[in-house]
Every structure is written in C-alpha cells, then in structure tokens.
Amino acid sequence: MENIKTAVIAVCGISAVRCIIGGISSSAKLKNNVMMILNIMLAVVMSAPFLNGCSEFEIPEFSGYSLDYDYSQDKYAQKLCETTAENISEILEQQFSSSGIYCEKILVEVNISAEYSISISRVMIITEDFEAAALIVKSCLGAETEVVNGAE
C-alpha cells in the first residue's frame, strides 16, 4: 500500500512539472525533449508498483459479507406500488378534466403480487358527479375495478 501511495505522489509531481514546463518553455525542440523524458519517467513511475508488487498482490475475501436482497425487494415493491398509484391518479385526473369533471381527490389502491403483477383493485374518488367519474374509471381501468365514492 505504501508503494501505491508513493507512486501516486510521484505521478502527481511529474504531472505538475510537465504542466509547468509546458507553460514556461518557449522553444519547441527543448519542450519536446523535456516532455519525452518526463513521459518516460511517468510511465516508469506508474508501472513500478505493479512490477514490484505482483508477487505480493492478494485479492481480499468477500465471504464475510452477506447481502440482504429481501429488504431491497420489499422496498422495490413498495416504491412500485406508490409510483403506479401516482401515475394512475394523474391519468384519471387528466381524463376527468378532459370530460369536464372536477375531482377533489383520487386514491388508487394497487396490489403487487410476488411475481410483480400489478392489479388495481379499488379507486376512491371525491367528486360531485360520481356516476360519470365512475364510468370513466371503469372504462380506463376495467369493469372489475371497484369505484368508491369518498364523499360518503
């Protein structure tokens, strides 16, 4: 690890010197010669830790780590439910407004199975024209969707 740290410091130093010489040098021939020498030095410094440390290099073991995928799957399903409900609410709101129906609130109940199959089981709406809104919901989401009047 110490070799890599030293190599990184050397690479930074050589790069800084290259930038300074590139900015100061006015002669193209001198500049090209110095840059070539610095490029060779840079290549040697960058390859030295790998050439010296090939025999000492070990891959760390990852057997002590365990990843809990169930937690992320639950979070994924929950976020999928929320996003689906929000998207359906927005679509229904657009359908209502294009039909001239004002709707105060739309709540969509979404169920997701273990295979990530999405089903919309219930929609609660608060509107003055409930029957027309219910027809729009059933035409968009299917006749089997339960539509509940939230004003009652």
Q: Which two structure tokens, joined as six digits, stand for 15?
A: 């790069």
Q: What is the mean pLDDT of the segment spanning 118-126? A: 89
Q: What angle do CA 68, 70, 72 make, to 5 degrees?
A: 85
Average of per-residue pLDDT values in the chain:
81
Q: What's the mean pLDDT in 122-150?
A: 89
Q: What is the pLDDT of residue 86?
A: 93
Give tens-digit pLDDT for 39-84: 888 787 777 766 766 556 565 666 665 656 556 777 888 888 899 9
Which one, of 118, 116, 121, lies nearest residue 76 by Cα?
116
What pLDDT, on the 0 to 100 scale, is given for residue 55? 54
Nearest residue to 134 (alpha-carbon basis) of 97, 126, 120: 126
End-to-end CA distance of the chain: 71
Beta strands in 12-117 (DSSP E): 103-112
Q: What integer is the mean pLDDT of 16-44?
A: 80
Q: Mean pLDDT over residues 80-89, rounded? A: 90
